[in-house]
Structure 1
Amino acid sequence: MKLREQMPELTGATEWINEEVAKEELLGKATLVHFWSVSCHLCKEAMPEVNELRDEYDDELNVIAVHMPRSEDDLDIGVIRSMAMGHDITQPIFVDGNHKLTEAFENKYVPAYYVFDEEGKLRHFQAGGSGMKMLKKRINRVLGIEEK
């Protein structure tokens, strides 16, 4: 995806965990879409920081997790559910067993982070396990929060 492109529709999930949401429900509020996988070590390391962002910006930011399988082993819904519980992923999880949303986002990485503004336009993208301070700065910028 290119910056300023509109968020794709959240369709094609093989399953939703926690709650199903539609793109229209997200508009009017900034949104963080976070791609992860059960087989990704960096994803597991970053999860507490993603959860901190979710909790800190509870009223201002939507957080959606997208489980992107990297192999056949990553398709077991029981394993996905168990890992989600074990890592306190309480936000909606789009299980992308057929890579429908992965393709719509043109995403190739886990973990990957997409920050959309309240109009649903992409304002920031980053991938990899580090750089959470940068992600928080970009979220703050989209939310109009002054850096201290």
Structure 2
Amino acid sequence: MKLRSPMPELKGETKWLNGTVTKQELIGRKPTLIHFWSVSCHLCKEIMPEVIQLRDRYRNELNVIAVHMPRSNEDTEVDKIKKVTKKYKISHPVFIDNSLKLSDAFENEYVPAYYVFDKYGLLRHYQSGGSGMKMLEKRINKILAET
């Protein structure tokens, strides 16, 4: 996705965990962080506590949505995803993307990956990989300062 692209519709899920969310519910209220992860990604699990800290720190100012993007057939087991979600305290909505429909809409190829949208639903920041959480928080703060 290019910067300033509109947020794709959150459609094509295999299942939602922790509630469902629509694009319309997110836009116009506050910025949104959408993070892609996978149960087979060691780095995703390693960095998840920092994502959870961000979620908790900005609870009232930032929407946080997780997208589980499988990297293999074994990653598509919903019970396994539920178990890992619980273990890592992912209490925000989780879009299970077993058919990769949302991943394709985002043109996302990597986990972990982070997309930050402003309150109007425009992409303002993208990054992938496990490092750079300070940069991610800086970008979130910059977008929050604009709202």
TM-score class, shorter-chain normalisation, is over 0.9
1:12 aligns with 2:12: yes
Aligned amino acid, residue 5 of structure 1: S
Q: How far has the Cα of 1:49 moved from its partner?
A: 0.4
Task: State the identity %.
Answer: 62
Deviation at 1:84, TM superposition (A): 0.2
Q: Which residue of 2 aligns with 1:74?
A: 75
Report the CA distance between 1:72 and its aligned residue. Answer: 0.3
Which residue of structure 2 lines up, in the alignment, with residue 137 of structure 1?
Answer: 138
Which letter maps to 1:87?
Answer: Y
Q: SS at the partner of 2:141?
A: helix
Question: Over the residues paired in the alignment, what is the CA RMSD in angstroms?
Answer: 0.7
Query: Which residue in the other structure is 1:64 paired with?
Result: 65
1:70 to partner: Cα distance: 0.4
SS at match of 1:98: coil
- What's the offset of the Cα at 1:37? 0.1
Question: Separation in 1 of the partners of 2:51 and 2:77?
Answer: 23
* SS, match of residue 4 in structure 1: coil
Residue matched to 2:51: 50
After superposing on structure 2, the runs of 4+ consecutive aligned residues of structure 1 that deviate more than 4 Å are none
Deviation at 1:97, TM superposition (A): 0.4
Q: Distance in 1 between matches of 2:67 and 2:135?
A: 21
**Alpha-carbon shift at residue 35 of structure 1 (Å):** 0.0
Shift of 1:74: 0.2
**Matched AA of 1:57:** Y
| Unaligned 5+ runs, structure 2 | none
The CA deviation string for residues 83-140 of structure 1, in whole angstroms up to 9 with x for no partner, is 0000000000000000000000000000000000000000000000110000000000
Q: Which amino acid aligns with 1:128?
A: G
For 2:124 and 2:47, locate their aligned partners in 1 and report how far apart those are by CA, in whole Å: 21
Distance 2:13 2:112 in 1: 18
Aligned residue-pair number: 145
Which ranges in structure 1 are unaligned for 5 or more consecutive residues?
none
Q: Output one character per residue of 1:8-42: Cα deviation in whole Å (capped at 9) or x when no partner.
A: 00000000001000001001210000000000000
TM-score, normalised relative to structure 2: 0.98
**Counterpart in the other structure of 1:117:** 118
